[in-house]
Chain A
Amino acid sequence: MTRRNLLAGSMGLAAGAATSLPFLVPKYDRDRRPPRSRVAILGAHEYSARLDGDLMNGLRLFNPDVHGKTVLLKPNLVDFSPGAAINTHPILVAAAAECFRRLGAASVVVAEGPGHQRDTELVLRENGFRTVLDEQRIPFVDLNRDELVKTKLRANYTGLGHLWLPRKLLDAGFAVSMPKVKTHHWSGVTLSMKNMFGVVPGAKYGWPKNILHWRGIESSILDICATVPVHFVIADGIVAMEGNGPLAGTSRALGKIVLSDDPVAADTTCARLMGFSPDMIPHIRETAKFLGNAAPERIDQLALAVTAPKIPLRTVPEFEYLRVG
C-alpha cells in the first residue's frame, strides 16, 4: 500500500464516519425500557356503572403504587360532535378516579389541553364531563392555561431542545394516559403516546399546537413521551374510531379496555386489537428502542389474550398498509 492509497483510504473513512455518525447516534438520552411490561385487556361492552368494579379488578392485577400521590388522569378530550367517538368517555374517567382514590391516592385530578377548541369549559360541558366531575368532586386542570415550566427534552427528534410544560403535570406523582382508541389521518393511530400531545400548552404554542406539526407529528410524540413520564395507561377501546380519525371517523365497537404500566406496550397491544401491525407505526417502533417494550416476549399479558378483529379498523388510504391481513 502506498502512502497515497493510505491517505485516500483514511480520507474516505473519515468522510464516511462524518456523514453516517449523526444517523447512528441515538436521539434519546438513554435506554429506559423496563425488563418486562404488563398489559391487561378487559372486556367491556358499554359505558355503565359496572365499569367501576371491572376497572378495579383490572387495576388490582397491577397493584399500582399510588398511595399518598397525586394521580393525574389525562383523557383524550378534543372537541364535541354528537354521537361521534372522539373523546375518552367521561364514565370511564370517573371510574378511574374512583378506583385510584380507593387505591389510596392523596388526590385525583383530570387534566387536558384540547388541541383546537379554545373553550375548554364548553368541551367539558358538551361531552358530559362537567356533570360527572362536579358530581364526584373531581378537580379539572386546563393544561392549555396552567403555569408553565421550561423543561429540557429528553430526546432530540424535533430539534426543539425544550418545551414549556404545565406545572400540574410535572408535579403529579402518577400520570395516567387515558386515550380513546382511534385511527388518525396523520399518524395512523392515536393511542396513549399521541394522547400526550394534549399536555403541550396552547397558551404558549397556540390552538392547534402547530409548531409540533411543523416539527413532525411522529418526532413530537417521541420528544414528548421521552420527557413526560406516563406511569400508567387506561385506553378506552369500548367504542373506538375508525376511518378518518381523530375527528371525522366512524364509531367501531371493540369492547375492550387496555391497561398497562408501559405506554409502548399499551399502544402495541391496542394497535394489534385494531388489526394493525404495530411495528409499521413509526413512533411505536422508535419508542420500543428506548422507552418501553413492544416485543411480545417482554410483555406479560394479563386477563384476556390479544385477538385481532376479523376485519381490521378502516384507515384513510395513506395508512392502508397498517392493516394486517
Chain B
Amino acid sequence: MVPQIPLRKALIERQLPNGGWSYGQASAQADLEPTCLALVALRWDSSPAQARGLQFLLDAQNPNGSWPAFQGDDQEASGLTPLAVTALASGGIMTPAVERALEWLLDVKGKESHWLWKWKFRTSDTHVSFDPDKYGWPWMPGTCSWVIPTAFAVIALKQAFVCCKPAKVALRIRRGTEMLLNRACPEGGWNAGNGVVYGVAMAAHLDATAAALLALHGEKVDPIIRSSLHWLERSAATCRAPWSLAWSLLALEAYDRPVDGLADRLSDLDPDLIGDTATLAAVIVALDCLVQGNAFKGVA
C-alpha cells in the first residue's frame, strides 16, 4: 500500500516538464534538494514521474561526480550532492554515476582539514570552539565543514557501503561522526555548524539535529546523542513547522522513540498550504517511514 495519496498526488503535479522539481511552484528552475527528496518520496511508486525524475537527476550530474545546486548552475558542486546518492540508491540505481559521486564525496573535505587552516584555527582564529582535526563536508568546496552536508554525506556513505567499508570510506565516516559529535551544542542538538561561538552556547535547530542524529544512528550511543534526542523530543513536541516536524519524525523513529503525535500533525496537513516542494516531499518521506522503512536511517 502506498499511503499519503493527496500529498503524493500534489508532489507529482509539481514535477517540471524536464523531470525535476523546484523549491517554489512559480519557478521553472529544477533544484537539487526538492528533486532528490521527491525521488525518495516516490521510491516505491515505479511511476513515470519517478522514472523521469531519476533520468533528470542522472543527466544533471557534473563531470566530476558532484551535482549542481540547481539546473543551469555553473557545474559547481553542491553540498547536497549526497542527497542525490541517497535518492538514486533508494530508487535501486547503483550505476557508475553513483560510483563517481561517491569518489567525489571521498575527495571533498572541509577547509579546516588542511594543515595551514588547522594551525590558524588553533592559534589565532579561536572565537569558534571546534577541533579542526575532526572534519566533514562543506556546503561548497573550499569552505569549512557544516552539519547538514556532513550528516547527509555520512548517511550516503553508510548506505552505499553496508557490508564492507574500504579504509578510506571508514576513515571519512569516522571523521564525519567525530566532527558532528565535536560540534554539538552544549545543551544538546546541533546548530548549523558550531556549538559555541565567542564563548556563547548556540541554540540547536530541529532539522540540523535530526539530520545529525540520523547520521549517527548505529554509532555507540554516548551522552551527546542522548541529550540531543531528549532535546529533539522536547522541542518537536511544540513545533508546527512541517519541514522541522518531518525531519524530527525521521530521526526519532530511527531511535525507536514515540512519534505518533508528530505523525498526526503531519497527516493533517493540506498539501496546498505547503508551498515549498522540498518540504512537501520531506513530509511524505517522514510519514512513509512508519509504513515502508526509514530512507535516511544511517547504519554503522
Interface of A with B (CB < 8 Å)?
A: 79, 81, 116-119, 121-122, 125, 142, 145-148, 150, 164, 167, 185, 203-208, 210-211, 213-214, 244, 247-248, 316
User: In the complex, are the beta carbons of B142 and A211 less than 8 A apart?
Assistant: yes
A204 to B70, CA, bound (A): 7
B23 within 8 A of A: yes
User: In the complex, are the beta carbons of A147 and B27 less than 8 A apart?
Assistant: yes
Closest-by-CB residue of B relative to A185 is B198
- Which residues of chain B are within 8 angstroms of A81 by Cβ–Cβ distance? 203
Please pick, from A117, A148, A150, A207, the residue contacting B146 in the complex, using a CB distance under 8 A. Answer: A207
- Which residues of chain A are within 8 angstroms of B94 by Cβ–Cβ distance? none
15 pairs of residues in contact across A and B, judged by CB atoms under 8 Å: A116-B205, A145-B24, A146-B24, A146-B27, A147-B29, A148-B29, A203-B31, A203-B33, A203-B69, A205-B140, A207-B146, A208-B139, A210-B146, A211-B139, A248-B200
Please pick, from A121, A147, A206, the residue contacting B149 in the complex, using a CB distance under 8 A. Answer: A206
Using a CB-CB cutoff of 8 Å, which residues 176-224 of chain B contact chain A?
191-193, 197-198, 200, 202-203, 205-208
- Which residues of chain A are within 8 angstroms of B139 by Cβ–Cβ distance? 205-208, 210-211
User: In the complex, are the beta carbons of B198 and A121 less than 8 A apart?
Assistant: no
A247 to B192, CA, bound (A): 13
Report if A121-B31 is in contact (Cβ < 8 Å); known contacts: A142-B23, A205-B139, A206-B139: no
User: In the complex, are the beta carbons of A147 and B244 less than 8 A apart?
Assistant: no
Interface of B with A (CB < 8 Å)?
A: 22-24, 26-29, 31, 33, 69-70, 72-74, 78-79, 111, 127, 138-140, 142-144, 146, 148-149, 191-193, 197-198, 200, 202-203, 205-208, 239-244, 276, 278-279
User: In the complex, are the beta carbons of B192 and A125 less than 8 A apart?
Assistant: no
User: In the complex, are the beta carbons of B243 and A118 less than 8 A apart?
Assistant: yes
User: In the complex, are the beta carbons of A203 and B70 less than 8 A apart?
Assistant: yes
A118 to B33, CA, bound (A): 12
A248 to B206, CA, bound (A): 19
What are the 9 A-B residue pairs with the smallest beta carbon separation, nearest first?
A: A206-B139, A145-B23, A122-B241, A147-B27, A248-B200, A210-B143, A116-B192, A119-B243, A147-B29
Closest-by-CB residue of A relative to B191 is A116
- Which residues of chain B are within 8 angstroms of A316 by Cβ–Cβ distance? 198
- Which residues of chain B are within 8 angstroms of A248 by Cβ–Cβ distance? 197-198, 200
Closest-by-CB residue of A relative to B193 is A208
User: In the complex, are the beta carbons of A244 and B111 less than 8 A apart?
Assistant: no
- Which residues of chain B are within 8 angstroms of A150 by Cβ–Cβ distance? 72, 74
Please pick, from B73, B127, B244, B278, the residue contacting A204 in the complex, using a CB distance under 8 A. Answer: B73
Please pick, from B143, B200, B276, the residue contacting A145 in the complex, using a CB distance under 8 A. Answer: B276
User: In the complex, are the beta carbons of B24 and A118 less than 8 A apart?
Assistant: no
- Which residues of chain A are within 8 angstroms of B29 by Cβ–Cβ distance? 147-148
User: In the complex, are the beta carbons of A142 and B198 less than 8 A apart?
Assistant: no
- Which residues of chain B are within 8 angstroms of A117 by Cβ–Cβ distance? 192, 205
- Which residues of chain B are within 8 angstroms of A147 by Cβ–Cβ distance? 22, 24, 26-29
Among the interface residues B79, B138, B192, which one has the most CB atoms of the partner chain A within 10 A?
B192
- Which residues of chain A are within 8 angstroms of B197 by Cβ–Cβ distance? 185, 247-248
Among the interface residues B127, B203, B279, which one has the most CB atoms of the partner chain A within 10 A?
B203
User: In the complex, are the beta carbons of B143 and A206 less than 8 A apart?
Assistant: yes
- Which residues of chain A are within 8 angstroms of B208 by Cβ–Cβ distance? 118
Please pick, from B23, B127, B138, the residue contacting A203 in the complex, using a CB distance under 8 A. Answer: B23
